[in-house]
Amino acid sequence: MAITSYPFDAQSITETDYSRLFREFQSTGVADGVGGTSFYTYADATGMTVKVSPGFAIVRGHAINSTATEVLTVAASNTAARVDRVVLKLDPAANSITLAVKTGTAGSSTPPALTQTDTGIYEFSLATVAVGANVTSISAASVQGERKFLGNTVGGWTTSTRPDSPRVGRLGFNQSTNTWEFWNGTAWANLTQAVDWSTLTNKPSTFPPSAHTHGWADISDKPTTFPPAAHSTDWSTIVNEPATYPPSTHSHTWSSITSKPSTFPPSSHSHSSYLESGDTISWANGSKKPYSNTATDGTFYAVWVEGSGTFCRNTSARKFKENIEDFEVDPDAVLKIRPVIYDRKDQVDEESGEVRPGRKGEVGLIADEVDELGLKWLVQYMDGEVDALRYDLLGVALLPVVQRQARQLADLEGRLAELEAALS
């Protein structure tokens, strides 16, 4: 028979017929809402198991009710990770809905597909379970929920006759207040909320007026005279124009100049041997004075060059210092410093592509090795990384080494004197 109608008195219908009828009234899902615990799946690292909380659900028109927490075993993992699925499995042939774990494919991050037929097996996913390689327990973070929830009906009521214990999202029309309201989990809230200006997003910063007109009499503070606005005049209408047009004194903004060169190599020039306050010189000429000048008399200073290129005296007198305390230096760490010979890396100019060969056969230290020895006060850093060494402080670092050796020599000399006295 091509047409079937039901249910009627004294009529036999199948569970498939009943399922098709009931699923039109309610979709497959858990009788719960976001944040609820009905058929909530979780793990607590107690072996290869997951747990499913009690709950009620409808699967393709069939109901399942659980009154206790169920413990499901997850198959042991191997050397390849996989993703399993926890499902409610409807089996019409067995007249049952059961909890089950579907094992995923080893080495795949995709959970196993759900079997969802119209009259046979139908699986409803509760959660996915990430099973790591060689794990012996399932952690809480490995479980990700996939529950879908039953739909809520729409109703009508007064404030005094609202539904008791509604699910989150229950919607209805309150005849006492003439408003649509919904249950948000803790209270009834109006469907159309009052909006505060500060909570609005994407609002414009300005509100240009729409096209409109004003009567002349409505305009206030209008001027008494109207000098002509900027306009253009056809050349043929101009009289007494000059025959030539010598340029007047004027200026141009940098942005208005076209075809200007991208670089400006300096013209031939020189620098004085001395720097005055506020003067600057190129790095190439920075050593001109010490190179050509021989110390003879007068006062001389050790100098530092600040990050800005400014020269300054390296002062050491007590009057320039405070909070003076002994500083412990580890002589053994100092003795581990390794002198090396090395070549500087070639430098490539980013604009011209010119390669400037690095100096070869330089003798010095490696700042990274000094840093690893714990002598960080000898190391300079830039942008949080090791950059250079304070070579001027190496003498300070060697003082504890020399002082310790001096004490050892004095001790040995004393012992030698005692031996010589004993032998004489």
Question: Mean pLDDT throughout 43-64?
Answer: 94
Backbone angles phi, psi at 49, to 5 degrees: -140, 155
Element (H, E) at 131: strand 122-131
Distance CA 87, CA 262 (A): 68
- The answer to whether the bond into 112 is cis (omega within 30° of 0) is no
Domains of the chain: 15-145 (2.60.520), 154-191 (no CATH), 327-424 (no CATH)
Mean pLDDT of the chain: 86
Comparing CA positions, the residue from 23, 49, 61 lying closest to residue 101 is 49
How many helices (H) and strands (E) are present in the chain, helices listed first?
Answer: 5, 22
Distance CA 11, CA 15 (A): 13
The answer to whether 365 and 340 are in contact (CB under 8 A) is yes
Question: What 3-state class would DSSP assign to 21?
Answer: helix
Comparing CA positions, the residue from 201, 176, 204, 196 lying closest to residue 188 is 176
**370-419 pLDDT tens trace:** 999 999 999 989 888 999 998 888 989 899 999 999 999 999 999 999 99
**151-169 pLDDT tens trace:** 777 888 898 888 887 888 8
* Chain centre to alpha carbon of residue 98: 43
Question: How sure is the predictor about 289, in pLDDT bands with cuts at 50, 70 and 90?
Answer: low
DSSP string, 365-410: --HHHHHHTT-GGGEEEETTEEEEE-GGGHHHHHHHHHHHHHHHHH
The answer to whether the Cα torsion of 123, 126, 131, 137 is positive or negative is negative
Residue 42, beta-bridge partner list: 51
Distance CA 187, CA 181 (A): 10
Distances (CA, A) of 352 to 265, 345, 394: 12, 18, 39
The answer to whether the Cα torsion of 188, 191, 152, 157 is positive or negative is positive
Question: What 3-state class would DSSP assign to 101?
Answer: strand
The answer to whether 60 and 48 are in contact (CB under 8 A) is no
Question: Mean pLDDT throughout 205-233?
Answer: 87
The region that residue 28 occupies, defined by phi over 0 for left and psi between -120 and 50 for alpha, beta otherwise, is beta
Look at 167 and 73; give whichever has higher pLDDT.
73
Distance CA 404, CA 61 (A): 90
Q: Is the pLDDT of residue 147 over 80?
A: yes
Q: Is the pLDDT of residue 38 over 50?
A: yes
Say what percent of the chain tops pLDDT 90.
Answer: 41
Question: Mean pLDDT throughout 111-120?
Answer: 94
Q: Is this model's pTM higher than 0.85 or not?
A: no
Q: Whole-angstrom distance between the N-terminal and C-terminal Cα of the chain? A: 135
* Token pair listed for 155: 């109703």
Comparing CA positions, the residue from 360, 383, 386 lying closest to residue 373 is 386
Question: What 3-state class would DSSP assign to 84?
Answer: strand
Give the DSSP letter of residue 319.
G
Question: What 3-state class would DSSP assign to 58?
Answer: strand
Question: What 3-state class would DSSP assign to 5?
Answer: coil
Give pLDDT, residue 273: 46
Give pLDDT, residue 280: 53
Question: How sure is the predictor about 173, in pLDDT bands with cuts at 50, 70 and 90?
Answer: very high
Least confident piece of the model among 2-16, 102-116, 341-355? 2-16
Element (H, E) at 128: strand 122-131
Residue 29, beta-bridge partner list: 58
Question: Mean pLDDT throughout 360-364?
Answer: 92
